[in-house]
Chain A
Amino acid sequence: MNISAIRKIIFSAIGLILFIPAGISFYQSRHLKEPVVLSPGVSTVKRLSDYFPAIKGSTDDCHIYFFEGKEKGATLMILGGTHPEEPAGRLAPWLFAENAVMEKGRLIVVLSANRSASTVTRIGGGYPPDFTIPTAWGGQKFRMGDRWSNPLDQWPDPEVYIHYPSNQNLAYVDIRNLNRTWPGRPNGTLTEKTTYAFMELIRKENVDIFIDLHEAELQYPVISTIVTHEKGQELATMVSMMLTDMEGFNIGTEFSPKNLHGLSHREVGDYSNAISLLFEAPEPFLDATRGKTTREQLLTGKDAFVMKAGEHGLLFEKIDENGWPIDVRVGRHTSTILQTMESWTEDHPKKPLVCRNIPRYAEVIEKGIGTYLHDPKKANSKRVVFE
């Protein structure tokens, strides 16, 4: 064997040494099982394919958690995981799935709306593959996720994405963005089929209020706010006023533009009877000017570079050395959901929504999210579901 052949074998071996651990890491991240210990309030767990069989067996065939109140009332749906790289948008509904009990009305919870996007991280973004929320029993690991569906599930992207049915031209990559494909179509891409399936669910279950949970970078103007369809303007404004007055955090209200298509706050309101709302909390991890992209930065929301951007007046939300910890971000979402139920019930006493056992903003910050996550090893295995 000559020197050239030996060299090629050595280089190939080094290549394999790089390829195999990377491949294992990506595989494990894509297949990480996240346990959900069902709250006693969960009456049924369905699949999204129960509403649109064409997605049965696909990555996006996620679980749907139903909570039936003792008394009849309205139906509220919480959609978590539209953008899995916004973890408060998954963790807040997770607290509902593991703790909520409905006294009046009905609650529908989704934790992984775009499950495909939760199985990949942003390519070239240097994201951690997962993060862990500390608990008294050790900690629970969650997939990090991305904004867009995994290219392994939907590829290639078109040169131009023409939104259906508006025919509006959107960024090509947003054909894999769950919050740009509403109301979806039955013969479209996986992401379009997923939003179509959710629309079927919303219509068949007669959802009255639909809430889509998000987080935003501090350099993005739509932040710390409720974006509302015109049907929900009064409700959103009341919720915003109550929270700002009573709970000590600022949250605004913005109206969904009529000509901006594909987003849940526009299309769910237009194509169903539901009031559609979208909540945004601050997440410095998403800012383009952030420092090192680490698990710590994700969970503490502390970042000297984003603070520097703030000193130059480049941000739409405040940030200081305390950052934006995940407990604060999740607490904002739980309080905003609970306040939505309360404000709705005041206006619709014959269609109430009353939920108990969910911590509000101050309580989440005081005790931490981990307090409300339960040990799957100690739970009845029939009451544990994996996302």
Chain B
Amino acid sequence: MDFLTTIVTILYYLFIAYIVFILVLNLIKSKTWEKEILYIIVLIPFLLRLFRLK
């Protein structure tokens, strides 16, 4: 169980990193300011988890 939990946790953090990557990519590509603000707001909790702050 220990081993499985570790694997799932690693996958989870990889998944978060992937979402952060996609959000940043979409932020760069976006054309409207509303979407840009939205991407920034959505990014914050993912970054907090990725850096293991919250």
Residues of chain A touching chain B, judged by Cβ–Cβ distance below 8 Å, are 4, 7-8, 11-12, 14-15, 18-19, 22-23, 26-27, 30, 120, 123, 152, 155-156, 187-189
Contact = CB atoms under 8 A, between A and B. Distances in A.
Contacts of B17: none
Interface string B11-54: 01000000000000001101101001100110110011101111
A8 B1 CA distance: 44
Given A26-B53, A152-B52, A19 B47 contact: yes
A8 B30 CA distance: 9
B23 to A, nearest CB: 11
Contacts of A22: 44, 48, 53-54
Contacts of B36: 7-8, 11
A267 B20 CA distance: 43
A189 B1 CA distance: 8
B27 to A, nearest CB: 7
Most chain B beta-carbon neighbours within 10 Å: one of A15, A30, A155, A156: A15
B54 A15 contact: no
A189 B3 CA distance: 11
Contacts, number: 50
Contacts of A156: 8-9, 12
Nearest to B2: A187
A187 B1 contact: yes
A15 B48 contact: no
A311 B33 CA distance: 49
A100 to B, nearest CB: 36
Most chain A beta-carbon neighbours within 10 Å: one of B1, B41, B47, B53: B53
A335 to B, nearest CB: 38
B9 A19 contact: no
Give me the 8 closest cross-chain CB pairs, A-B, nearest first: A15-B40, A23-B53, A26-B53, A26-B54, A11-B36, A11-B40, A152-B52, A187-B1
Contacts of B40: 11-12, 14-15
A156 B15 CA distance: 12
Nearest to A152: B52
Nearest to A5: B28
Given A27-B53, A152-B52, A187-B1, A19 B44 contact: yes
A8 B53 contact: no
Given A15-B41, A22-B53, 20 more contacts: A4-B31, A7-B36, A8-B27, A8-B28, A8-B30, A11-B36, A11-B37, A15-B40, A15-B43, A22-B44, A23-B48, A23-B51, A23-B53, A26-B54, A30-B53, A120-B54, A152-B49, A152-B52, A187-B2, A189-B5
Nearest to A121: B54
A152 B13 CA distance: 11
Contacts of A23: 48, 51, 53-54
13 contacts: A4-B31, A8-B36, A11-B33, A12-B40, A15-B44, A18-B44, A22-B48, A23-B48, A23-B51, A23-B54, A26-B54, A30-B53, A123-B54
